[in-house]
Structure 1
């Protein structure tokens, strides 16, 4: 009787909550490598593990397909999107082009509030150490603040679609970062970030784009070098 009197709105809200939970957990597990590239994602197993409905898992996976973090395989269900050096190089090329457009627009449109946001994001990032060691909390803090820093730089570009594309490419690049292991321990990432901030505040578009492209490509080079070294072992 109680079930018969349950509000349809409550049922809809519960379903949406389950879908949101499934999506967020699946996404985090893929981003941080808990589901290996190419691994099959079995809906019933995931639903049981997360204690949500299979429908919530299916909807969450469909959203991740749109973000290119999951692939839908005919007659085989879903799998984590594979990683490859060729894909990383293609992703890096496109990301550099999008960064250049977004940064130039941000410099043209940015006001005092934008400058303050960039400075604040850079300061917050500088307060946490780079991602080294096994401290998960420190690692998570650096990941979050690094993403905020890059987002702040393009936040004044004046286009929601461009910001969304920028964020999507950034997050796809993050999946590859773990492949570099600790190969960047001698790299002055903090110095690179500060130089980028200085160029942004000086409104030097050419220098800003050049520094950002070098920053991105340096990370790609480290990832590829680390992946090839691991494959040779």
Structure 2
């Protein structure tokens, strides 16, 4: 079973291994398992309730996604983060997301437009709270940020593109979760502008704004001094 943040709640039909994979993946993306942390199989076995053989399979899958690194005979550890790594994954996100935006704007229907408006509304309410001084909602903002950007490209009619974008977005989002710092009104204004450009079907404008938006986010994350 493919695990994405946009899967329906409930995860019917999951095996114990599927559940463990989702939990470990989420713990890495959300910073509960820290960069370079050793992933000791005995401890993971107790925490996630699966066998060592299942854990090895899960960690090998996460290695393919660049969320875990294998150390040969020494085992596994959470993948590192770096400034170059953030810039690299940001450029890949831009490449995928701008292509998906163009396709989505060409194919999207009225229901898609409504979903874009709905997801932006939810994101904007969290952003208003953050701008008002409630810093405790940054983690929720990261989730709503995903929801809005996913909604924008959801009409691209390419499951393979959506799956790859989801994986790349997770790796980008991981940096946000490690610094937990909101860029403020500029980010909120860009989201509103992106919503408007999308509804106007202005593909060139939306793509140009998205590129600036992601790169500004990168500079903000690096400006916190929390990425080695």
- With normalisation by structure 1, the TM-score equals 0.82
Runs of 4+ in 1 over 6 A off after TM superposition: none
- Return the alpha-carbon distance in structure 2 between the equivalents of residues 130 and 18 of structure 1: 37
Aligned position for 2:174: 175
- The farther-off stretch of 46-55 and 93-102 is 46-55
Is the contact made by 1:179 and 1:223 (CA closer than 8 Å) also made in structure 2? no
1:33 aligned onto 2:56: no
Q: Which aligned pairs between 1:55-204 and structure 2 lie closer than 5 A?
A: 55-128=53-126, 129-130=129-130, 135=136, 138-182=137-181, 184-185=183-184, 187-204=185-202
Is the contact made by 1:179 and 1:227 (CA closer than 8 Å) also made in structure 2? no
- Return the alpha-carbon distance in structure 2 between the equivalents of residues 71 and 101 of structure 1: 29
- With normalisation by structure 2, the TM-score equals 0.84
Shift of 1:71: 1.6
Unaligned runs of 5+ in 1: 1-15
- Greater radius of gyration (CA): 1
- Return the alpha-carbon distance in structure 1 between the equivalents of residues 105 and 142 of structure 2: 25
Q: Give the length in aligned residue pairs.
A: 212
Q: Which has the higher contact order (CA 8 A, sep 6+)?
A: 2
